Amino acid sequence: MKYALVTGGSRGIGRAVCIRLAGMGYHVLINYLKREDEALKTLSMVKQAGCEGSLIQFDVADYAAVESKLGTWQEENPDAYIEVLVNNAGIRKDALMIWMENNLWQDVLNTNLNGFFYPTRFLLKNMLVKKYGRIVNVVSLSGLKGLPGQVNYSAAKAGIIGATKALAQEIGKKRVTVNAVAPGFINTDMTAGLNEDELKNLIPLSRFGQPDEVASVVCFLASEQASYITGEVVSVNGGLYT
């Protein structure tokens, strides 16, 4: 059995990634923090896609929780290792910088940056020992272009992009690849409050994207077919920014 972990896997892009990975034959560990009802829906969809899955609840930004939950899983599955990690969990707390409170800055950087660092560091050792692994980080158009009202989110996602490129160079010789996917405006809970009719006029393809369109790129980078791609950032934004 092959194993994959998707953080923030209960909804949106994370859910779409879980379903596609199940179709690729992976037992998918669906990470979530609060919405167990949505995580259970994702688990049901994973099973319908033809593979097993399981829920694993922890806060990706909590070092002790990451170590405890992933450590327990490893103890219970001593002959297995997680060969695919999709760092999808993240939050936005938008505000213009002049009115940005300290907690808005710290919460967004903590969840997005530490939420990449803690799970990746924990799982990396086994990938290096086994000499095979796929790490895919879901970043954002905001981390490439920068968006007003998102100085915190742009900084966090740009930081993950830099970490993606650096880590790819550290571990490439061990056949572990690290890539990022940068979605633009995608129809998920995170964009529910945006004016799609107005914003789609800025997009050459004249529409928002769908979670599965992002998931298809994520899962290609997570596949064996992407073995010669590392340190890259692939945009999925309808041509909004190239």
For CA atoms 121, 126, 132, 138, the dihedral sign is negative
Task: Report the 10 Å Cβ neighbour count for 72.
Answer: 11
Catalytic residue, candidates 63, 118, 153, 241: 153
Give the DSSP H/E element, type plus range, for residue 118.
Answer: helix 115-130
Give the DSSP H/E element, type plus range, for residue 209.
Answer: none
The end-to-end CA distance of the chain, in Å, is: 38
Residue with tokens 């034959």: 25
63 catalytic, yes or no? no
User: CA angle at residue 208 from 241 to 194, to 5 degrees?
Assistant: 95
- Asked if 28 and 46 count as a contact pair (C-beta separation under 8 A), the reply is yes
> Would you call 134 helix, strand, or coil by DSSP?
strand
Beta bridge partners of 2: 26
Distance CA 214, CA 133 (A): 20
Q: Among all residues, which ones are annotated catalytic? A: 153
